[in-house]
Amino acid sequence: MALTHRFGARPLWYALRAAPATAPAMVKASLMAERDRWFLWVPVGLGLGIAVYFLLLGEPPLWLGPAWTGGLALLAVALRRRPLAVVLAAALAVIGLGFCAGQVRTALVDAPLLQQEIGPTSVYGRVVALGAGEGRQRFVLEEVRIDGLAPAATPRRVRITANVPPPSEFGDRVGPGDWVRLRAVLRPPPAPVAPGAWDFARQAYFARLGAVGFAFGGATLAEPPAKATRGGFSVWLTKLRHTVAGRVLAALDGGANSGIAAALLTGDRSAIPNDVLVAMRNAGLAHLLAISGLHMGLVAGIIFIVVRACLALCEPLALRFAVKKWAAVAALVGAFGYLLISGASVPTQRAFLMTGLVLLAVLLDRTSLSMRLIAWAAIALLLIAPESMLGPSFQMSFAAVAALIATYEYLRRPMARWASGMPFWTRPLVYLAGVALTSLVAGLATAPFAVYHFNRFADYGLVANLMAVPMTGLWIMPWGLLALLLMPVGLEGLALAPMGWGLDAVAWSARTVAAWPGAVTLTPAMPSLALVAISLGGLWRCLWRRRWRFFGLAGFAAGFLVMALEPAPDILVDADGKLMAMRAEDGALWLSSRKRARYAGETWLRRAGQSEAELWPWREGEVVGRDGEAPTAIQCDSLGCVARIDGQIVAFVQDARALDDDCASADVVVSLVPVRGPCPSAHTVIDRFDLWREGAHAVWLEAGSARVDSVAGSRGQRPWARVRARTKDRQK
């Protein structure tokens, strides 16, 4: 029987043959049918423009973004009688606006960057941020003076890790707003440890951090300069947050639950023990420590319910006025206060914008939750801080909220009918079902971003969230909000004690779930192109309503295909020439050392999806490996190592005395010392000059050749990534 098309009696092959001719009409009809959803793609267009800006290898002229946006906007006006042409021109103009936002933001935050390591030297400045915990804490200083550095070359802000003793051993504790002096070593913000890895220097540039370093000992209080400014509202607010966090830690005696309490109330996670952080991350509960939509919604919801209930008890007010709107105003004020006291991170800003729009909808008698709310919140953040789009907090928070809204748009009516027919005593089960569905949807939506940024997936995250989220919403946050309200009169301990009991339960659930076998799945690094394809596929699936939304699955398929086809590098070398790595025949990454360049080694292993690594057999004749075998055909001595990888001879040189022999026989030479002469046998040479100038290198071995990428090559010449001037070229 011939396969027939479901819209008629003609065979399916006839419909497929006619598809190229009918596709434009179908696309036009679908677009016009969903014109009410066009606005939802505005933040997507802004994001594409921002991505184009940050992908450039050179800084574009400042006029390019405004000219792009303005020219296409004028074109849209000129084509106003052709709807599809107007839509296309407007879409390209929105992309240009995102590009322009990136340019403007980069120009506004431009500040001096430290060019090379200095110190130990004296650093003097005002504290604007400081962790509330003890031990090694990060001081952020501004209005800095650095001995040996000219004022014009001095960074606006520096971040220094210094020791903070317990209050009992420290008379006048240093806090935000204080002027301090430290003796420290300062370095430029570090570049990525591998091509494609996280670029801290870019993040530091937009935070106006021009140098990072560490201090010898602690910070000592100093006299402010004669014409010192008071620091304004931001310093006062930071000091208030620091004070609140300190009182929370003191009330809970500095235990593990005290650090979590301080994180939930002020956003300061400096006092959380490392083992608790690891357990929360491995159990899939790390989102509870980052103040986001859950916390902001709980604070606003608690205030709204309590205020409305209290006003409803007063009969004259309840009968004459719309007490619901009064409660919405109170909740909005409370949410804004929580935004300020919690540090106003990117997830918190997004959560406040969403919460504020929901409460505004209540005041205007509109639908309180819709996809337009998240679109407006995304537009605001992308225009104000376009660089935030590159970070995991922005990506994961918006992905989770968009997926949840799209899911509940589809399930709202069926779930309402199902819940309305349930008896009263089953309401807790309905709540748990909602938590489970929310955790499942949010977990699936954020999984690609967790894999891309952290190379891990919490397998039992759903179970852990079913244990911890109800405790957080029904017990911990109400007591935490009450503690903030009681703090001005010094009675916060009455609320912090029961809050601590709930936090102990959350910490226990995190440790329990994290200890289960297979709690975490480590994954290799995801290519950026794969993340883009999956993200666009997810957006297509969430933002449209008609059946063509299922074409978004093609984006998922393309992303997974790119992941499967993208090979991992065979060789890695860090920028300082202290660490090398090679990929064995079984695909595992082997390191030259576990002690040198530890951060680079840990990052390489994480991006390889490994928790541990074997070492190269450095002693002559040594054979190592899990099965008593070396990773591949490799031989080492005191001068270096020689390996055979994919049919090519690779020489890893540590001593210049090995260069003559290696340059006469190896196909690839990786030298931690300068190569000043020719290497006739090698088609690829990477030496100390290359590492100094271009940063960490990655090498993919191919048939008879090699593909080389460097950090400088992938970053280009940008304000946060300045390539060092070339030295005298060597002969190869």
Q: How confident is the model at residue 19 (pLDDT cuts 50, 70, 90)?
A: low
For the chain, percent of residues with pLDDT exceeding 90: 40
Please report whether residue 238 resides in a domain: no
Please report whether residue 237 resides in a domain: no
Residues 58 and 78 in one domain: yes
Residues 408 and 550 in one domain: no
Find the domain containing 643 and state its range: 571-715
Bridge partners of 456, per DSSP, are 522
The Cα 330–Cα 326 span in angstroms is 6
Is pLDDT of 56 > 90? yes
Please state the rounded mean pLDDT for residues 316-342.
Answer: 88
| Higher pLDDT, residue 24 or 680 | 680
Q: Give the pLDDT score at 2.
A: 44
Q: How many CA atoms lie within 13 A of 259 on its CB side?
A: 16
Residue ranges of the alpha helices (H) in 9-143?
12-33, 42-55, 64-78, 83-108
Q: Give the pLDDT score at 473.
A: 86
Q: Give the pLDDT score at 729.
A: 41
Please state the rounded mean pLDDT for residues 70-81.
Answer: 88
Is pLDDT of 239 > 90? no
| Higher pLDDT, residue 315 or 13 | 315
Q: Give the pLDDT score at 509.
A: 93
- Condensed to tens digits (0 to 9), the pLDDT of residues 706-725 reads 999 999 999 989 999 876 65
- Condensed to tens digits (0 to 9), the pLDDT of residues 426-459 reads 667 777 777 788 888 888 899 999 999 999 889 9
Window from 63-77, 222-236, 476-490, 655-669 with minimum mean pLDDT = 222-236
From 88, 47, 98, 37, select the one nearest 68 (Cα to Cα).
98
Residues 53 and 101 in one domain: yes
From 447, 468, 471, select the one nearest 459 (Cα to Cα).
447
Please state the rounded mean pLDDT for residues 220-239.
Answer: 80
Q: Give the pLDDT score at 68.
A: 92
Residues 502 and 637 in one domain: no
Q: Give the pLDDT score at 495.
A: 93
The Cα 466–Cα 436 span in angstroms is 6
Q: How confident is the model at residue 517 (pLDDT cuts 50, 70, 90)?
A: very high
Please report whether residue 726 resides in a domain: no
Q: Give the pLDDT score at 40.
A: 93
| Higher pLDDT, residue 530 or 322 | 530
Window from 34-38, 516-520, 727-731 with minimum mean pLDDT = 727-731
Residues 193 and 133 in one domain: yes
DSSP-derived 3-state class of residue 35:
helix
Residues 532 and 511 in one domain: no
End position of a domain, from candidates 63, 86, 108: 108
User: Number of folded domains in the chain?
Assistant: 6
- Give, for 591, the enclosing helix (H) or strand (E): strand 589-591
Q: Give the pLDDT score at 158.
A: 95
| Higher pLDDT, residue 147 or 586 | 147
- Condensed to tens digits (0 to 9), the pLDDT of residues 369-403 reads 678 888 988 999 899 999 999 988 889 888 988 99
The predicted model scores a pTM of 0.88
Please state the rounded mean pLDDT for residues 178-196.
Answer: 93
Please state the rounded mean pLDDT for residues 507-531.
Answer: 92
**What is the bridge-based pairing of β-strands 684-686 and 668-671?**
parallel
Window from 285-299, 571-585, 639-653 with minimum mean pLDDT = 285-299
Q: Give the pLDDT score at 497.
A: 92
From 351, 424, 457, select the one nearest 394 (Cα to Cα).
351
Tell me what the pLDDT averaged over the chain comes to: 85
End position of a domain, from candidates 460, 487, 522: 522
| Higher pLDDT, residue 4 or 133 | 133
From 630, 628, 606, select the one nearest 616 (Cα to Cα).
630
Please state the rounded mean pLDDT for residues 519-535.
Answer: 93
Residues 179 and 103 in one domain: no
Q: How confident is the model at residue 367 (pLDDT cuts 50, 70, 90)?
A: low
Is pLDDT of 667 > 50? yes
Radius of gyration of the chain (CA): 29
Q: Give the pLDDT score at 23.
A: 65
Window from 179-193, 599-613, 617-631 with minimum mean pLDDT = 617-631
Q: Give the pLDDT score at 354.
A: 79
Q: How confident is the model at residue 30 (pLDDT cuts 50, 70, 90)?
A: confident
Please state the rounded mean pLDDT for residues 289-299.
Answer: 80
Please state the rounded mean pLDDT for residues 285-312.
Answer: 85
Q: How confident is the model at residue 97 (pLDDT cuts 50, 70, 90)?
A: very high
Is pLDDT of 731 > 50? no
- Condensed to tens digits (0 to 9), the pLDDT of residues 567-594 reads 999 999 999 989 999 988 888 889 988 8
For the chain, percent of residues with pLDDT exceeding 70: 89
| Higher pLDDT, residue 51 or 83 | 51
Q: Give the pLDDT score at 95.
A: 95
Residues 25 and 40 in one domain: no
Q: Give the pLDDT score at 728.
A: 40
Residues 308 and 192 in one domain: no
Is pLDDT of 531 > 90? yes
* SS3 track for 598-667: HHHHHHHHHHCCCCCCCECCCCCCCCCCCCCCCCCEEEEECCEEEEEECCEEEEEECCHHHHHHHHCCCC
Please report whether residue 720 resides in a domain: no
Please report whether residue 732 resides in a domain: no
Is pLDDT of 625 > 50? no
Please state the rounded mean pLDDT for residues 31-37.
Answer: 84
Residues 701 and 682 in one domain: yes
Q: Give the pLDDT score at 624.
A: 46
Residues 347 and 392 in one domain: yes
**What is the bridge-based pairing of β-strands 580-583 and 571-573?**
antiparallel
**C-alpha 18: how far from its chain's center?**
45
Please state the rounded mean pLDDT for residues 189-199.
Answer: 93
Residues 81 and 146 in one domain: no
Q: Give the pLDDT score at 556.
A: 94
Q: Give the pLDDT score at 699.
A: 95
Is pLDDT of 6 > 50? no
**Cis, peptide link before residue 60, omega less than 30° from 0:** no
Please report whether residue 667 resides in a domain: yes
Largest CA distance in the chain: 96
Please report whether residue 729 resides in a domain: no
Please report whether residue 243 resides in a domain: no
